[in-house]
Amino acid sequence: MHSHDRTTYFDPTEHPHRRRNLLTGEWVLVSPHRTKRPWQGQVEKTPPEQRPRYDPTCYLCPGNERAGGVANPRYESTYVFTNDFAALLPDTPDEDVSGSPFFQTQAETGTCRVICFSPRHDLTLAEMPVADVRTVVDLWATQVEELGNDPRISYVQLFENRGAMMGSSNPHPHGQVWANGRVPTEPAKEDLQQRAYFERNGSPLLVDYLAAEVDAGDRMVVENESWVALVPYWAVWPFEILLLPRRHVRQFPDLTDAEREDLASILKRLLTRYDNLFETSFPYSMGWHGQPTDGGDYPHWQLHAHFYPPLLRSATVKKFMVGYELLASPQRDITAEQAADRLRQQSEIHYRQR
């Protein structure tokens, strides 16, 4: 780095800088001065504010026929089924089929399921009663336990895409679970960094990181006895959230009854703040990362959830991951601290219920 005479001191709220993602080892460029630029780019359509409790054309509503021709039962709580158009199949021959170092291919086995959070078409996790969110939490745990006990499965990925902006093909409240024969790319990167930290320090990375974040305080958003939701120091998406248990927990099924109850509560509180930020059903992709289920030893792992919402300035202006982000490094305009402060200012009473 070249040295220059500077007339001002470095200010992370004003000057461009890089922050390292401890979970992946990668860097993000932060450019807080860019929030002053005018926006003349694409403006998104906002989703309709009102949806019916039941939609006869929805392939996820109770009793309706799905695209694959199977009829849903008239379920009254949560409902899980194998995806009719699964990206992974259990009967794929599991072998290395590479014939050249330049054209490497591996067969991939697994299964994909759809999780309907509620029979009601018009709700999201933010608007569901805490007791119903708790039912979803318990279902996540049973799915990880069931699929993770299959010796053919090495990783169980729970996730939800909310909103058309994040690729959801159906507004009915639902998520997915994909179970892989091999550990996918993102959890594998996190495993590498957590393992290296544990070998150096003898304690889990995310347990120590959470202690440092609680001490700093300026990126915390919402917390309770068992959980903390914060904007990570290295956040890429404008209002990204990292949700962490206070206790060292390696995988979802290990959560206690109290931790599951607290998780249902903090999810509703966090997602209500999201919706209130721009008074819209806040789009995001979220997912849970727990230890692999391949029978290995993972004392370094800590369960956590990532929330990646695209909205940047309003309900209609989103962050695009293009150009520099695709070719060089992720980049963000508002700092993590500014994002956390804006989320902390939001009410926990949903704007539709005021």
The DSSP code sequence of 51-95 is: --S--TT-TTSTTPBPTTSPBPP--SS-EEEE-TT-SSBTTS--S
Please choose, from the candidates 196, 179, 177, the residue with its C-alpha nearest in 3D space to the C-alpha of residue 286: 177
Torsion of CA 305, 338, 239, 35, to 10 degrees: -150
Of 121, 174, 289, 304, catalytic = 174
d(CA 208, CA 84): 42
Residue 166 tokens, joined: 């994040």
Active site residue 174: yes
**Burial grade of 11 (CB within 10 A; 0-12, 13-18, 19 or more):** exposed
Q: Which tokens go with 184?
A: 């996918």
Q: List, in order, residues 6 or more apart from 195 with CB less than 8 Å away.
A: 300
- Rounded to 10 deg, the angle between the 257-278 and 336-344 helix axes is 100
- List the catalytic residues: 174
